[in-house]
Chains A and B, each alone.
Chain A
Amino acid sequence: GDSVTQMEGPVTLSEEAFLTINCTYTATGYPSLFWYVQYPGEGLQLLLKATKADDKGSNKGFEATYRKETTSFHLEKGSVQVSDSAVYFCALRRSDSWGKLQFGAGTQVVVTP
């Protein structure tokens, strides 16, 4: 079946450091890929998405590129802020399964001043 694997947290880093969260997936066909973020006390929010191979999603300084050859969608940010502290979820949606997102386990990121 479909699955999403992301690196375990927590990831702790200092302000202005470079952030990478690895995400790999297993799915048939060509799924759409997403990163969602959950800030403390808030609901999940879509951070970025990519719908086909080599697409790059970007938002709020975060980027992720859909790599079909390595089945990966790693999230990166060049200079994190304390306000980026949150739990980040990688997810996929198959084209034949509208409405059903398959999420990874989530990675907690803690940014210290």
Chain B
Amino acid sequence: EAGVTQSPTHLIKTRGQQATLRCSPISGHTSVYWYQQALGLGLQFLLWYDEGEERNRGNFPPRFSGRQFPNYSSELNVNALELEDSALYLCASSLGQRATNEKLFFGSGTQLSVL
């Protein structure tokens, strides 16, 4: 069974550009989570989608946005990129809030570099 897959693996952008990161959850999972892992800051919660809707949001500016598609895959969009957006972006999936098992499964991440 395939795990959580993220694309691209690496992404290089310049300041002011937009970045789009993609995530495919494990088959059967309806929840997708996005985390930012910046050097020295650890993992910061960005967004949670379940059943196509945004359920929770971390303390990030509105230029970080996303969506979840009917097949439960998800996109994270970062507009007006800033140098400090350079980080590893991790996606995770789970069975969703209706499940008693809250275990998250993480992908290997997209390394975003803003020059």
Contact = CB atoms under 8 A, between A and B. Distances in A.
A105 B41 CA distance: 6
B97 A101 contact: no
Interface residues of A, number: 21
Interface in B15-42: 31, 33, 35, 40-42
A83 interface: no
| Interface footprint category on B | 20 to 34
B109 A43 contact: yes
A87 to B, nearest CB: 10
Interface string A82-112: 0000000101010001111111111000000
Contact of B42 (A42, A97, A100, A103): A103
Contact of B45 (A41, A42, A43, A102): A102
Given A42-B108, A43-B109, A44-B90, A99 B103 contact: no
A36 to B, nearest CB: 8
Nearest to A98: B97
B43 interface: yes
B48 A43 contact: no
Nearest to A51: B102
A12 interface: no
